[in-house]
Amino acid sequence: MVTIYDIAAKANVSAMTVSKVINNTGRISEQTRKRVKKVMEELNYIPNSNARSLVLQQTQILSLLITDITNPFYTSLARGAEDSAKKLGYRLLFGNSDEDYTKEQDYVDMILSTRVDGVLFAPAGDHSLKHLEKLRAHNIPFVIMDRAVPGIESDIVSGDSKQGARNLVEYLINLGHRRIALVNGSLDVSTARLRYQGYAEALQLHGIALDEELVIHKSYREYKDEDQLLQLLQQPSPPTAIFAANNFLAVGVINALRKRGIRVPEDMSVVCFDDLDLSSALDPFLTVAAQPAYQFGAMGIQLLVERIQGSAVPESRKVILPSELIIRSSARTIGK
Amino acid sequence: MVTIYDIAAKANVSAMTVSKVINNTGRISEQTRKRVKKVMEELNYIPNSNARSLVLQQTQILSLLITDITNPFYTSLARGAEDSAKKLGYRLLFGNSDEDYTKEQDYVDMILSTRVDGVLFAPAGDHSLKHLEKLRAHNIPFVIMDRAVPGIESDIVSGDSKQGARNLVEYLINLGHRRIALVNGSLDVSTARLRYQGYAEALQLHGIALDEELVIHKSYREYKDEDQLLQLLQQPSPPTAIFAANNFLAVGVINALRKRGIRVPEDMSVVCFDDLDLSSALDPFLTVAAQPAYQFGAMGIQLLVERIQGSAVPESRKVILPSELIIRSSARTIGK
DNA sequence: AACATTAGGGTTATCGATAACCCTAATGAG
DNA sequence: CTCATTAGGGTTATCGATAACCCTAATGTT
């Protein structure tokens, strides 16, 4: 690999002069500058960012840790983050924890040893606390995405899970549904708790008793376990509608229903949080509370960079992006 | 940040001893080793991989450059690559070129300056040649994914686009279709050329003349331009079936058709390359030639690491993964 | 004319870790 | 008892780039 010393030798200057040309600092005559630049091109010089980072104590790299790269919500978020990072002059190091705390821990160590300038962190859940504390202990700025983690104060960009859930459930109630089931994510994820609360509030507001028999808490990703769903349906007074707490759960629920010959929406209404992008483009079927995932990422990077550059207020900032109720055809009036 | 010198001072040894403990090299007594390790934990030491990379001349980082992070094909591929990289002890630096040569170039420079050990490269198209040549000029090993680039010899993992296309078109022919349109990607992408060839061969094999009026070449991502499609349909002898060269194009085509009140598959059959994952899980509708995207990534990393570690044969290796024809309901027998 | 500036560039130390080599006391061999 | 080994660890130089400071000749000032 060619280094600034190679350039220096060939251009008959010192390495420092080359460095000054590269960074546009110091006093260099136009003549010398041109000569150096020409040699740089001839030798195909590419600066070594490891060496640079070592002395500058900064890398111009941000890390984005998401929990599921196959989920459209996170890939849209990633694109928002990437575009925003690029605009601000940062590179992005992606990580994918697969909703797995062990993988998440590995990534945190990797992040620390890479000395990234900051982290956009979508936590797997409440137990991510110690990973965030580790980042903080090492003074790495971070912004939390999507899921709040009790016990940690920080900038965060999230959706309005409670309100979104309320909107969906009220929509179902307005269609005449009274027995509404909730297929939720794990309760150690903040969004799952809030969606549960929104669900409960909507019911209460309309004088409907919350029946815990109608609520399942599993994981946002285990959308293939059908046993619990079966139990749900075999109750004396089964639900007429199901609120799935995210897109993957909705797909799992609908698949399971169809396998049993239960049609959606004819026999069962289904709504969910998060849109499906391509799916919905192909077939506008699922009624959802869609979140502006791209904005999540773009906004997150912006907050993060402000934090890194010290231009942010000292207090932590909470950005809550509203979700949009998109009514399609997976739910219908009860009885008809 | 804590360095090995801090550890050394507190443990009353030299920095070199700490380094030896970390890397398990040299001769260190069990007693000293334990003492050093204890101090490392107390101080929460994390090695600086930039410093390490500088002297070792290797980073343990691989780069994965894809062309569209919102396409399920590439996200599955990314997961395969990630799992495989992790297993082999490498970190993964993602990049997303958005099918844009300029972005791709930026990423190549970034990759070079990061001094990654190797690159898994999904090229935007034929003009990626100069980017690959640049990598080669700098002696960075790479494996090409999905799309071959004329003019460059290298390891490559790709699908069998020609065969997959033939299968799809023959399937349509067997259903009785004779007027079959092709909505293709840009011809400066190898897979688009091969899918076109497969399409042509299938027609020829069955004695059907290829009518260029039925062929559109656009981009794999511009699936929203409906004008050309309109022309296609307004011909004297319009097509009865459409072969879309990838999943996004299929979605665009179907949307455009529906907007005009043309039903799929009743009025028009549609098939395509690449599956839609979530969509297909929700609604097994599109008949597709599905590629094993996860294997693409996993296999790619494996080839790459073999290349890096010098355990590969000197000749470049071409891995071709077959696609699978999945028949669902977006195409039907003509006339019925 | 004498001194102060400044343009243009060079020297040296440093970031954190490791390779290559060196050193010393203790142990072993004969 | 004497010399050779070895266990255990330390010294020094190096990776590539930059910060901080230094140096010299030319230019400007009064």
Q: Is residue A336 part of a domain?
A: no
Do A81 and A63 contact (CB within 8 A), yes or no?
A: no
- Nearest-neighbour CA in chain B from A29: distance (Å): 27
State whether A276 and B278 contact (CB < 8 Å): yes
Q: Is residue A52 part of a domain?
A: no
Q: Is residue B328 part of a domain?
A: no
d(CA A76, CA A292): 9
Do B21 and B37 contact (CB within 8 A), yes or no?
A: yes
Which residues have CB atoms below 7 Å from chain C, the nucleic strand?
A 12-17, 26-29, 31-33, 51, 54-55, 57; B 1, 3-5, 15-16, 19, 22-23, 25-26, 47-48, 51-52, 54-56
State the average pLDDT over residues A110-116: 95
One domain, residues B26 and B83: no
Residue among A82, A93, A115 whose CB faces B93 most closely: A93
What pLDDT band is residue B231 in, cutting at 50, 70 and 90? confident
State the average pLDDT over residues A272-285: 91
Instruction: Tell me which protein residue sits closest to nucleotide C12, measuring alpha carbon to C1'.
Output: A16
Residue A288 to residues A164, A219, A269, B149, B210, Cα–Cα distance (Å):
9, 19, 12, 42, 44
DSSP, collapsed to helix, strand or coil, labels residue A181 as strand
Quick check: A336 pLDDT over 70?
no
**Residue A197 structure tokens:** 């609360």
Q: Give strand pairing partners of A215.
A: A182
Q: Is residue B181 part of a domain?
A: yes
One domain, residues A145 and A259: no
One domain, residues B189 and B253: yes
Edge-to-edge order in the sheet of strand A61-66: A91-96, A61-66, A118-121, A142-145, A155-159, A318-321
pLDDT tens, residue by residue, B278-334: 889 888 899 999 999 999 999 999 999 999 999 999 999 999 999 999 999 999 998
| Burial category of B124 from C-beta neighbours within 10 Å (exposed 0-12, middle 13-18, buried 19 and up) | buried
Quick check: A334 pLDDT over 90?
no
Query: What count of other Cβ atoms lies within 10 Å of the Cβ of residue B35?
Result: 18
One domain, residues B128 and B153: yes
CATH number at residue B169: 3.40.50.2300
Return the pLDDT at A230: 85
One domain, residues A72 and A126: yes
Element (H, E) at A259: helix A247-259
Do B218 and B246 contact (CB within 8 A), yes or no?
A: no
One domain, residues A170 and A222: yes
pLDDT tens, residue by residue, B235-256: 999 999 999 999 999 999 999 9
Q: Is residue B189 part of a domain?
A: yes
Quick check: B56 pLDDT over 60?
yes
Give the total number of structural domains in chain B.
Answer: 3
pLDDT winner (highest mean) among A77-91, A160-174, B89-103 = A160-174
Quick check: B181 pLDDT over 80?
yes
Quick check: A270 pLDDT over 80?
yes
Q: Is residue A333 part of a domain?
A: no
Return the pLDDT at B94: 86
What pLDDT band is residue B228 in, cutting at 50, 70 and 90? confident
C1' (D23) to CA (A27) span, angstroms:
14
The parent domain of residue B40 ranges over 4-47
What pLDDT band is residue B205 in, cutting at 50, 70 and 90? very high
Rg of chain A in Å (alpha carbons): 26
pLDDT tens, residue by residue, B252-270: 999 999 989 999 999 999 9
CATH number at residue A42: 1.10.260.40
What pLDDT band is residue B223 in, cutting at 50, 70 and 90? low
One domain, residues B205 and B247: yes
State the average pLDDT over residues A52-69: 95
% of chain B with per-residue pLDDT over 90: 88
Q: Is residue A54 part of a domain?
A: no
One domain, residues B33 and B71: no
d(CA A294, CA A87): 15
Q: Is residue B298 part of a domain?
A: yes
One domain, residues B127 and B194: no
User: Which string of b and e fits B146-155 if b means at least 16 CB within 10 Å?
Assistant: bbbbeebebb
One domain, residues B166 and B281: yes
What mean pLDDT, rounded, does chain A reach? 95
Quick check: B336 pLDDT over 50?
no
DSSP state of B297: H
Residue among B46, B93, B281 whose CB faces A113 most closely: B46
One domain, residues A168 and A281: yes
One domain, residues A172 and A283: yes
